Amino acid sequence: MFNKLLLTLIFFVVTVLQFDLSASALYYTASITKGDPKILKGQKLKVVFVYGGMMVGEMKEADYVAGKVRDYNGKKTGSGDKWLAEWKGNRSSLFEPEFIKEFNYQGEKIKTSVQTAADDAIYTLVITTTYSEPGFNAGPIARAARINATCEFKDVKGNTVVTMVLDNIASPTMMNDDFETSTRFTECYVRLAKEVAKAIKKAK
């Protein structure tokens, strides 16, 4: 009887921790701080991704990366350099193409799309990731990854015509197969694409 009660208590505590650490996936803010997104309907947009100056948790990215490389290389020679290559490479191989894929799917009805190579586009979408939180998944206890991003739509002269600020865009999974940091961040960029496209679709 005691063992059964103990197991029940442990399950309850783990469930509460799981919910608490992943609750951020349910809350985000998205605001249009400049311009009217309706001008973007029916447009083919060029998209540029920027990560310079990004914070990772409470650290500057440069400091976070340096610490990770040092720790991994200390455990196994070369593993830190491999980690760094993946940290940078995941942007072009996973985050960016998945953002583009999801945005274009969401934008079909309003005929709005994004491409990295669209030099004839009237507007360019510059996505600056200002904050990243990798989160973690340790089986019964997990924390969603999160990103903050500023999306600026610029005309051919470089003037910003629309600005969107999106904070706490989180990976939606809980107790799922998102054990890799790259998977959780990819989910963040997919969700970011949905929110940006939704803001354009809702504009009247």
**Model pLDDT, residue 8:** 41
- The yes-or-no verdict on residue 4 having pLDDT over 70 is no
Q: What DSSP state is assigned to residue 116?
A: S
Q: Does the pLDDT value for residue 154 go beyond 70?
A: yes
- Tokens 């799922």 label which residue? 176
| Per-residue pLDDT at 15 exceeds 50 | no
Q: What is the pLDDT of residue 177?
A: 58
Q: Quick check: 195 pLDDT over 60? A: yes
Per-domain residue ranges for the chain?
25-202
4: exposed, middle or buried (Cβ count in 10 Å: 0-12, 13-18, 19+): exposed
> Phi and psi of 112, rounded to 5°?
-115, 130
pLDDT of residue 38: 97
Judge whether 144 and 173 are in contact, CB under 8 Å: yes
What are the residues facing 127 on neighbouring strands?
A: 49, 151
* pLDDT for 27 beyond 90: no
Tokens of 39: 């001008």
Cα 164–192–32 angle (5° rounding)?
15
Q: Look at residue 119 in the predicted model and tell me its pLDDT.
A: 87
User: For position 26, what pLDDT does the model report?
Assistant: 55
Q: pLDDT per residue over 158-171, tens digit each?
A: 999 999 999 999 98
- The DSSP result for 88-147, as a single string, is HHHIIIIIHHHHHHHHHHHTTTTT-EEESS-TT-S-EEEEEEEEEE--EEETTEEE--EE
Give the pLDDT band of residue 22 (cuts 50, 70, 90).
very low
Query: Cα(36)–Cα(54) distance, rounded to whole angstroms?
Result: 27
Q: List, in sequence order, the alpha helices (H) in 31-133.
A: 61-75, 79-90, 96-106
The whole-number pLDDT of residue 32 equals 97
Residue 159 has what pLDDT? 98
What's the pLDDT score for residue 137? 74
The tens digit of pLDDT for each residue in 52-110 reads 999 999 999 999 999 999 999 999 999 999 999 999 999 999 999 999 999 999 999 99
